[in-house]
Amino acid sequence: MCWNTLLLLLLCYDAQAAVSHRWSRAMLFPAAHRPKRSSSMPLNPVLQSSLEEVELLYEFLLAELDISPDLKISIKDEELSSLRKASDFRTICNDVIPKRIPDIRRLSASLSSHPGILKKEDFERTALTLAYTAYRTALSQGHQKDIWAQSLLSLFQALRHDLMRSSGPRVSP
């Protein structure tokens, strides 16, 4: 009887650990996993799946971006804006990444306690959130600038920490 109880507890513990780990990964960017009904947004959109797409993302960020008063991001360059990946870029920037300080702070806190290395889509979204936060920091003044700068710093530290972990020595079994 005692062994049966112990086995049942171990099984429940393993099940809880597996479920909570799976859900904690999805919670870095919950909007990516819950698209709005009125949106044609794909589930969990990703920009980078090849080196060419990484370079294209770099071009998007170097191109002049327009951020409207309602915080919608668009690419001013018509040629770049007409590309299919530009649509994914707009979707991620407008529907997935956080744009309010409380949401960015929640993301920073989640990143600081995130086990292991970020998945490439989470890294990509964090880098885009960092770019957005840098833009907002540059536009802000006074106390607001300090708040945005603090968020910028915590996102930078999270990305740097992830890069350091991913480039660290590999342990072979």
* Res 36: pLDDT: 57
Domain residue ranges of the chain, discontinuous segments joined by +: 44-96, 98-165
* Res 39: pLDDT: 53
- What is the rounded average pLDDT of the residues 165-170? 73
User: Six-digit token pair at 31?
Assistant: 């909007």
Query: Residue 14: exposed, middle, or buried by beta-carbon count in 10 A (0-12, 13-18, 19+)?
Result: exposed
CA–CA gap between residue 41 and residue 93 (Å, rounded): 12
User: What tens digit of pLDDT does each residue of 66-118 get?
Assistant: 888 888 899 999 999 999 888 888 888 888 899 999 999 999 999 988 888 88
SS3 70: coil
* Res 20: pLDDT: 43
Taking the CB of residue 82, how many other CB atoms lie within 10 A of it?
Answer: 10
- The whole-model pTM stands at 0.75
Strand partners, 74: 66
Taking the CB of residue 90, how many other CB atoms lie within 10 A of it?
Answer: 17
Contacts of 119 by beta carbon, 8 Å cutoff, 6+ apart: 25
Helix ranges (H only) for the chain are 2-26, 51-62, 78-81, 84-91, 101-112, 120-139, 142-166
User: What tens digit of pLDDT does each residue of 6-63 get?
Assistant: 444 444 444 444 444 444 444 677 766 565 555 555 556 677 778 888 888 888 888 8
